[in-house]
């Protein structure tokens, strides 16, 4: 075999171990009894170390160099199956990126990070409902220290700033400089825009909240029906409950979780639809490149674009809400004007600053992400001590949205990300929201029948376009290149602003 072919075989085995770890993570969040945490930590740490040892083998470095030299010498003119066509070149690029990240850390740091992440996450699972930041602070401080150590090591290996090195794991090629520029533009746009939206809302009668309770079993049944319309295949996926909604598993076995509030069915329902967007992306990734790096998502901004395109763009559109309203009314036995489509549309697009990110409307949502981006950059730089996080969080919420969390459960304890070691992830949510608006606009222009189909609860025309232009592309292109391929231009924040203006002030 050539060096490249040898690498393909090795990475296939490596990625099989990593997706196995992903299923173990899902089980830990959705099914595992709390007493299983120490054993699960050992299992996941062992998998992390096995993958690290495999990538750190000097033979992998030699194979990468040989494959790159061969590709440079022959380009795409080589004969036979070993020719490095665009997919194989992109695969080799991703192999090198993964190798750089992994080999920047020594085995001791990999082990310490894995164990501390698992311990901190399990402590957070108890601290969040108890509203007890002090309980998780020691573990959190220990984890941040290790994350900063890893960031410094990766910065040296990638020749990037420490925060950019962390960001590159979730958004290849991303930089704090560009994100800060985009977010600064949003921070300048949103306050005045939010004021105008709230003024307009005040001139209208407030929407009526349908009376509950809404039994969790009935919420789940409605969610499953709508998931089927999106295209979710229950022979290749599951819906379960967890403390924090997420989508995990693998393309052939996608795991979605949500959490139910029997006083508010919309929260869980929109959460399920959000995660269904993630699931459809996973299912649509190129099967021929399964278990190869190029067969993965282009990055988390692209992934979040798919979840937010379904939840925010399609499912808050008047066409889809008109379809959903009678189904919701029937599911809960509702009667009266509160269940009319017009009222439910007003509820699902109502703008009101709130404390919880996952429940935020799309006008105030970017403020939640801007806050988290600023705070995590400060913590990685050493400018914010973990013990001061609650106060800094509350000050930031007050500055950005004019509200101050009364307790940490509604503030810095609400998200799992930092407590399980995901630093550099948060910016991709708003980058994804912008990309979602851009992709949805392009899809509707290319396939004019999409809105009418959504009015029937049929996502097939939208998903067919996304399959061709986004899902099937895998990691062939990074986010900007993917957007240019699909829409004709790189990420353009003005399209997102135009979407918000049309929906809320049009």
253-304 pLDDT tens trace: 999 999 999 999 999 999 999 999 999 999 999 999 999 999 999 999 999 9
Instruction: Tell me the β-bridge partners of 239.
Output: 256
Q: Look at residue 365 and tell me whether its pLDDT is greater than 50.
A: yes
Strands 237-241 and 246-250: unpaired
Contact status, residue 459 vs residue 314, Cβ threshold 8 Å: yes
- Residue 482 above 80 pLDDT? yes
Tally Cβ neighbours within 10 Å of residue 280.
28
- 3-class SS letters over 279-317: HHHHHHCCHHHCCCHHHCCCCHHHHHHHHHHHHHHHCCC
The whole-model pTM stands at 0.93
Q: Is the pLDDT of residue 81 over 80?
A: no
C-alpha distances in Å from residue 396, one per residue of 181, 241, 402, 480? 18, 31, 9, 30
- Cα separation of 162 and 252, whole Å? 35
- Interaxial angle between packed helices 37-56 and 3-30, expressed in degrees from 0 to 180 and rounded to the nearest 10: 170
Token match 């009667």: residue?
335
Which residues, including other chains, have CB under 8 Å from residue 275's CB and lie 6 or more apart?
245, 246, 247, 256, 257, 258, 307
Cβ neighbourhood burial of 251 (10 Å; 0-12, 13-18, 19+):
buried
Kindly tell me if the per-residue pLDDT of 38 is higher than 70.
yes
What pLDDT is recorded for position 471?
98
Residue 431 to residue 38: CA distance in whole angstroms: 36
What mean pLDDT is predicted for residues 495-505? 97
- State how far the Cα of 15 lies from the Cα of 94, in Å rounded to an integer: 13
Instruction: Answer yes or no: is pLDDT of 222 > 60.
Output: yes
| Nearest one of 380, 352, 399, 487 to 162, comparing CA atoms | 380
pLDDT reported for residue 244 = 78
What's residue 249's pLDDT? 87
CA 89 to chain centre: 26
CA–CA dist 474, 281 (Å, integer): 9
**Gap between the Cα atoms of 227 and 238, Å rounded:** 11
pLDDT of residue 82: 52
Of 28 and 437, the one with more pLDDT: 437
What's the confidence (pLDDT) of residue 256?
A: 94
**Chain centre distance of CA 228:** 21
Range with the poorest average pLDDT among 27-31, 142-146, 333-337: 27-31
The total of other beta-carbon atoms located within 10 Å of residue 491's CB is 21
State residue 359's pLDDT score.
87
Strand order in the sheet with 246-250: 237-241, 253-258, 246-250
Active site (annotated) includes residue 304: no
**Better pLDDT: 84 or 440:** 440
Which of 275, 304, 340, 362 does the annotation list as catalytic? 275
Q: Tell me what pLDDT residue 358 has.
A: 87
Tell me the three state secondary structure of residue 264. strand
Distance (Å, whole) CA 129 – CA 410:
10
Convert 68-91 to b/e letters by CB count within 10 Å (16 or more is b). bebbeeeeeebeeeeebeebbbbb
Q: Is the pLDDT of residue 79 over 80?
A: no
97, two tokens: 């990126």
Q: What is the DSSP letter of 261?
A: B
Output the pLDDT for position 382: 97
pLDDT value at residue 34: 86
Question: Considering only CA atoms, which of 487, 176, 444 is closest in space to residue 320?
Answer: 444
CB atoms within 10 A of CB 385: 12
CB atoms within 10 A of CB 335: 10
The pLDDT value given to residue 141: 98
* pLDDT, the chain, mean: 95
How many Cα atoms occupy the beta-carbon half-sphere of 420 within 13 Å?
A: 14
Q: How many CA atoms lie within 13 A of 268 on its CB side?
A: 26
What pLDDT score was predicted for residue 77? 53
């Amino acid at each position: 075999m050539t060096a490249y072919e040898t690498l393909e075989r090795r990475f296939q085995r490596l990625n099989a171990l990593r997706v196995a770890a992903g299923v173990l993570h899902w089980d830990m969040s959705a099914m595992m009894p709390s007493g299983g945490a120490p054993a699960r930590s050992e299992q996941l740490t062992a998998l992390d170390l096995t993958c690290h040892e495999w990538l750190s083998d000097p033979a992998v470095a030699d194979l990468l160099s040989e494959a790159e030299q061969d590709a440079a010498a022959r380009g795409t003119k080589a004969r036979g199956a070993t020719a490095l066509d665009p997919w194989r070149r992109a695969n080799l690029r991703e192999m090198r990126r993964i190798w750089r990240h992994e080999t920047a850390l020594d085995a001791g740091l990999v082990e310490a990070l894995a164990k501390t992440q698992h311990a901190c996450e399990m402590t957070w699972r108890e601290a969040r409902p108890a509203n007890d930041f002090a309980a998780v602070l020691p573990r959190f401080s220990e984890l941040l220290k290790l994350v900063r150590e890893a960031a410094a090591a990766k910065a040296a290996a990638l020749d990037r700033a420490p925060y950019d090195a962390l960001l590159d794991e979730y958004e290849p090629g991303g930089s704090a400089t560009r994100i800060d520029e985009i977010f600064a533009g949003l921070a300048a746009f949103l306050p005045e825009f939010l004021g105008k939206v709230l003024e307009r809302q005040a001139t209208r009668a407030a929407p009526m909240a349908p009376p509950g309770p809404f039994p969790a079993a009935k919420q789940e049944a409605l969610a499953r029906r709508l998931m089927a319309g999106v295209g979710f295949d229950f022979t290749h996926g599951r819906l379960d409950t967890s403390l924090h909604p997420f989508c995990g598993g693998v393309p052939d076995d996608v795991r979605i979780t949500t959490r139910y509030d029997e006083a508010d069915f919309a929260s869980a329902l929109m959460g399920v639809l959000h995660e269904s967007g993630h699931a459809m992306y996973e299912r649509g990734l190129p099967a021929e490149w399964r278990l190869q790096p190029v067969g993965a998502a282009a990055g988390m901004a692209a992934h979040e674009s798919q979840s937010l395109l379904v939840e925010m763009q399609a499912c808050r559109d008047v066409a889809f809400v008109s379809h959903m309203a009678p189904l919701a009314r029937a599911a809960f036995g509702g009667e009266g004007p509160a269940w009319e489509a017009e009222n439910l549309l007003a509820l699902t697009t109502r703008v009101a600053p709130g404390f919880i990110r996952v429940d935020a409307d799309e006008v105030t949502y970017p403020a939640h992400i801007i806050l988290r981006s600023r705070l995590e950059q400060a913590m990685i730089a050493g400018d914010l001590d973990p013990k001061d996080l609650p106060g800094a969080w509350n000050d930031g919420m007050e500055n950005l949205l004019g509200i101050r969390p009364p307790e940490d459960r509604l503030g810095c304890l609400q998200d799992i990300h930092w407590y399980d070691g995901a630093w550099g992830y948060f910016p991709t949510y708003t980058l994804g929201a912008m990309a979602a608006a851009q992709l949805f606009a392009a899809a509707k222009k290319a396939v004019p029948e999409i809105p009418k189909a959504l009015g029937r609860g049929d996502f097939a025309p939208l998903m067919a376009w996304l399959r061709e232009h986004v899902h099937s592309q895998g990691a062939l292109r990074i986010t900007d290149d993917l957007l240019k391929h699909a829409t004709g231009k790189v990420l353009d924040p003005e399209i997102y602003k135009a979407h918000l203006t049309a929906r809320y002030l049009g």
